[in-house]
Structure formats: structure tokens, C-alpha cells
């Protein structure tokens, strides 16, 4: 039974790493589930609660950051509230057009939001780029957290 849990835990981490690039699969939460599965095995004695709590908080932050960081990207690139609202709306609409909708939705939403707010094309494009940069930063963070969880799983098992 323990070997089965180890195999499933590693498979969940592999699925989590894949999920960082496929928006329909929750990357970090899947890897965290693999880490928590180890609590039911003899290696649980090697796991520390502060580590579990920190990884859990980072996992929660990755979920939130998928929706929030593109909005901050718009702000950092000089976008207005129209661009931020458009980015948020584009993210929500993009959920229905996976996977490209989740990538392009915030960009298009920020662009259209800025145009609606009477910004010129250059400012609107810059706001859209900010949203895209925010999305890429969020993806990088998600990969880093999922990779850290995967490393903890492998170090705990082996």
C-alpha cells in the first residue's frame, strides 16, 4: 500500500507540473495533494508541519495569483482602471475558451478596456502587454511552487 501511495504521489506531482502549462489542470494544488498523500505513509515522520503549512499557503497564493497578477501587470505598465477591469473581465471570459482564452483573454480585455476608456492605441496595447507579462509572471511563480513541492515529495520518498 505504501508503494502505491508513493507512485500516486509522484504521479500527482507530474500532473501538477503539466498543469502549470495546461490551464484546465490545477498545477500546484495537484502537486500539494501528492505531498499530503505522503502523510498516510511511514515517511510522514520525516515531514514537518511548518513545511506543510508554508507549501499550503504558497499553493493557495498560486490559485489567487492566476487571477490577480495580470491585473497588477496592467497597473505596472501604466494602465487605467478601465484596463484593470477589462483584464479581469477578459480573464473570466477566457475561462470559457481554454487554453488560449486564459492566455489571451486578459490581454484582449485590458486592450478593449483601455480603448473603451478613451486611451490611444499605444497605451491600450501597453496595458495589454502588462496583462500578458503579469500572466507570465504568475505562471513562473506557479511553476516554481509546483517544482518546490515536487522536490519535497521526491526528497521525502527517497
At residue 38, the pLDDT reads 95
Q: Render pLDDT for 99-111 as a digit per residue (tens, 0 to 9).
A: 788 788 989 999 9
The model carries a pTM of: 0.84
Q: How far apart are the two ends of the chain, measured CA to CA in Å?
A: 17
All residue ranges of the chain with pLDDT < 70 are: none
At residue 145, the pLDDT reads 97
At residue 32, the pLDDT reads 97
Amino acid at each position: 500500500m505504501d508503494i502505491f501511495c508513493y507512485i500516486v504521489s509522484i504521479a500527482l506531482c507530474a500532473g501538477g507540473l503539466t498543469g502549470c502549462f495546461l490551464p484546465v489542470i490545477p498545477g500546484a494544488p495537484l502537486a500539494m495533494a501528492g505531498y499530503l498523500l505522503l502523510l498516510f505513509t511511514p515517511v510522514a515522520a520525516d515531514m514537518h508541519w511548518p513545511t506543510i503549512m508554508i507549501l499550503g499557503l504558497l499553493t493557495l497564493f498560486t490559485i489567487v495569483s492566476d487571477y490577480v497578477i495580470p491585473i497588477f501587470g496592467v497597473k505596472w505598465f501604466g494602465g487605467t482602471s478601465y484596463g484593470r477591469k477589462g483584464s479581469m473581465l477578459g480573464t473570466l471570459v477566457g475561462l470559457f475558451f481554454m487554453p488560449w482564452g486564459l492566455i489571451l483573454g486578459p490581454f484582449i480585455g485590458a486592450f478593449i478596456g483601455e480603448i473603451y476608456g478613451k486611451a490611444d492605441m499605444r497605451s491600450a496595447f501597453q496595458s495589454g502587454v502588462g496583462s500578458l507579462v503579469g500572466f507570465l509572471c504568475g505562471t513562473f511563480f506557479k511553476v516554481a511552487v509546483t517544482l518546490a513541492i515536487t522536490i519535497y515529495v521526491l526528497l521525502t520518498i527517497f
